[in-house]
A and B are shown apart, each in its own frame.
Chain A
Amino acid sequence: DTGVSQDPRHKITKRGQNVTFRCDPISEHNRLYWYRQTLGQGPEFLTYFQNEAQLEKSRLLSDRFSAERPKGSFSTLEIQRTEQGDSAMYLCASSSPATAAYEQYFGPGTRLTVT
Chain B
Amino acid sequence: QKEVEQDPGPLSVPEGAIVSLNCTYSNSAFQYFMWYRQYSRKGPELLMYTYSSGNKEDGRFTAQVDKSSKYISLFIRDSQPSDSATYLCAMIRSSASKIIFGSGTRLSIRP
Is residue B96 contacting chain A, with contact meaning CB distance below 8 A? yes
Known: A33-B98, A40-B103. A102 touches B44 (CB 8 A): no
A108 touches B42 (CB 8 A): yes
A44 touches B101 (CB 8 A): yes
B103 touches A41 (CB 8 A): yes
Question: C-beta contact mask, A73-115 vs B, less than 8 Å → 1, else 0?
Answer: 0000000000000000001010000001111111111010000
Tell which of A56, A104, A111 touches B46, judged by Cβ atoms closer than 8 Å.
A104
Is residue B99 contacting chain A, with contact meaning CB distance below 8 A? yes
Contacts of B42 in A (CB 8 A): 108-109
Distance, CA A75 to CA B98, complexed state (A) = 17
Number of A interface residues at 8 Å Cβ cutoff, please give it: 26
Contacts of A31 in B (CB 8 A): 97
**B interface, CB within 8 angstroms of A:** 4, 6, 8, 32, 34, 36, 41-46, 49, 88, 90, 92, 96-104
18 new A-B contacts, CB < 8 A, other than A102-B34, A106-B44, are A4-B43, A40-B104, A41-B103, A42-B6, A42-B102, A42-B103, A42-B104, A43-B101, A45-B100, A55-B97, A56-B98, A93-B43, A100-B32, A102-B32, A105-B46, A106-B45, A108-B42, A109-B42
